[in-house]
Structure 1
Amino acid sequence: MKRRDFLKTAGTASLAAPLALAGTTSASTAGSMSQGGLTITWLGSATMLLTCGDLTLLTDPCFGEGDKAFKMGDPNEMFDLAKGPNIKFHRRLTPFQGIDLDTVDHVLVSHMHEDHFDQEAEARLAKNIPMMAPTHDLDTLTQKGFSNLSSLAWGEKKTITKGDVTVEITAIRADHSENPEIAAILGEGNGYWLTFNRGDWSYSVYWGGDTFGTKPVVAALEPLGSPDLFIPHLGSVGTTGPLGQISMNAGDVAVFAALLKPKKILPLHHSTYELYLEPIHHLAEALDGAPYGLDLVSEGTPVTYT
């Protein structure tokens, strides 16, 4: 069995209501970009549009809605590890805000679990759209018919340029579990360090992907310093199943952020799906009094960082 295929082969905790929070930071939701500026629009799950000048990146595309938003194994249910999880449809709790795919220049994928690249996105994305993914997932994307692919292994860098905007992308190790054996079962994934440059303006983003702040991950980040923006994945997924916790909870993010020392935090991977177990208000409580800004935004709300 391929490790990435584990969730494809075979009691949910109480959830928060769909998120409806305004930003709680000094970032502007309509800020002007005279020379620089990065606008991020969260579309649910780990799906974002990152727009700087004429360049737009789409992350971890998930477009499905309703009771059958996507199909995947359920890490929250008990199952026999030797046989794999129950494959089932998963429910989306929030409406998808929609996307104009003609505006997207490049797709950036952290890994190929279906809550990060769902069946609806697979059907809607043009097969020749430029896409960057972990080396581990190239074969899967090729089998799905995508042809304009590039890959990054941990530590590798690539640059995308459009107009006067350049973004340097560095792949960062992502550990899907703090248990190395479970992380190996779930397969390698990427986080990404993105440095946007426009004129003399520069802005750094660490998008963690499905990772914990393990010692190897922290060691990989140390040479890069502190990011302007930290984008963690939450949800505390798996805590009720045999894999154990496979996405961070609020306490994990608080510890990770204390090591990273970002200027701001924009959390993803919460509230969208029934799959996510921990309500997002736990993060606001865990970071109360912390020295960095916390953006809690509703899906579809653009936030501009300057």
Structure 2
Amino acid sequence: MFYRSPAIVWRNATLLLNINGISILVDPMLGEKGVLGPFPMTDNELLNPLIDFPFSQEELIKKLRSIDAVVITHLHPDHWDSKAIELIGKNVPVLCPDIIVDQITQQGFQNTVPVNTSIHWDNIEIFKTKGQHGTGEIGEKM
């Protein structure tokens, strides 16, 4: 039996989900390779984003025009960068934790959808879950 994943990874945490014919872009980091520089509190000097997109800038713009929604899990720049803020249409629904809705709205997005515990959106059930970025000193800071 062949199983096809509904997710296409673009880079880092950025992926495109296709569920029931609906395209959802998750944690868009859309800046060019290296534009964010090295991330603080890491043991390396690698420039972020670490990789180019697997498609051209023109194809990126085309793909962004066809998304139905964006999900932002949190506001770290490897999950939501200034290029995403610039390129994503301001009327596209942005689903995010209720605690960051005001910040997303202040960035010009007019269709923010807060997720407190869970929501039913366009025949898709979405649940907010807890995550952990690291352990020890870095985990405590994040």
Specify the TM-score bucket, using the shorter chain as the normaliser: 0.7 to 0.9
Give structure 1 stretches of 5+ with no counterpart. Answer: 1-25, 32-37, 78-88, 180-242, 247-306
Contact 2:115–2:128 (8 Å) recurs in 1: yes
Alpha-carbon separation, structure 2, partners of 1:71 and 1:138: 27
Q: Which has the greater radius of gyration?
A: 1
Q: Pick from 120, 144, 154 the counterpart of residue 83 of structure 2.
A: 120
Q: Which amino acid in the other structure matches residue 103 of structure 1? A: S
Report the TM-score when normalising by structure 1.
0.39
Once the two structures are TM-superposed, the CA of residue 178 in structure 1 deviates from its matched residue by: 4.4
Judge conservation of contact 2:37–2:48 (CA < 8 Å) in 1: no
Contact 1:46/1:116, CA 8 A, preserved across alignment: yes
1:175-207 superposed Cα distances (whole Å, 9 cap, x missing partner): 33446xxxxxxxxxxxxxxxxxxxxxxxxxxxx
Is the 2:95–2:113 contact (alpha carbons within 8 Å) kept by the matching residues of 1? yes
**1:73 Cα deviation from its structure 2 partner:** 5.4
User: Aligned letter for 1:51?
Assistant: N
Report whether the alignment pairs 1:101 with 2:68: no
Deviations 1:16-55 (A, max 9, x none): xxxxxxxxxx764xx5xxxxxx521000110111112321
The alpha carbon displacement at 1:72 in A equals 7.8
1:58 lines up with 2:19 in the alignment: no
Instruction: State the distance in 2 between where 1:72 and 1:150 align.
Output: 32
Residue 169 of structure 1 deviates from its aligned partner by 0.6
CA distance in 2, matches of 1:72, 1:119: 16
Q: Give unpaired runs (5+ residues) of structure 2.
A: none
Instruction: Decide whether the 8 Å contact of 1:58 with 1:107 is kept in 2.
Output: yes
Higher RCO, 1 vs 2 (CA within 8 Å, ≥6 residues apart): 1
Provide the secondary structure at the position in 1 that maps to 2:8.
Answer: strand
1:131 to 91, 94, 97: 94
CA contact (8 A) 1:64 1:96 kept: no
- Candidates 154, 157, 160, aligned match of 2:121: 160
SS at match of 1:76: coil
What is residue 221 of structure 1 aligned with on the other side?
Answer: none
Aligned pairs for 1:253-292 within 5 A: none
Q: Tell me, what secondary structure is at the counterpart of 2:23?
A: strand
User: Residue deviations 1:255-300, cap 9 Å, x none?
Assistant: xxxxxxxxxxxxxxxxxxxxxxxxxxxxxxxxxxxxxxxxxxxxxx
Match of 1:75 among 14, 30, 41: 41
* 2:13 alignment counterpart: 46
Q: Give the match's secondary structure for 1:51.
A: strand
Q: Percent identity?
A: 25
2:49 and 2:127 mapped to 1: Cα distance?
Answer: 31
Residue 215 of structure 1 aligns with which residue? Answer: none
Pairing partner for 1:172 from 129, 135, 140? 129
Q: Partner of 2:34: helix, strand, or coil?
A: helix
- Residue-pair matches, total: 133
**Displacement of 1:66:** 2.4
CA displacement, residues 135-191 of structure 1 (integer Å, 9 cap, x when unaligned): 2211221221111101112xx111122xxxx31011112233446xxxxxxxxxxxx
Q: For the structure 1 residues 43 and 135, does the alpha-carbon distance in structure 2 shift closer, same or farther, using more than 3 Å as the test?
A: same
The answer to whether residue 138 in structure 2 is matched with residue 244 in structure 1 is: yes
Q: Measured at CA, do residues 93 and 130 of structure 1 come closer, stay the same or move farther in structure 2, by a change above 3 Å?
A: same
Change (3 A) 1:27 1:109: farther
The whole-number CA distance in structure 1 between the counterparts of 2:107 and 2:47 is 21
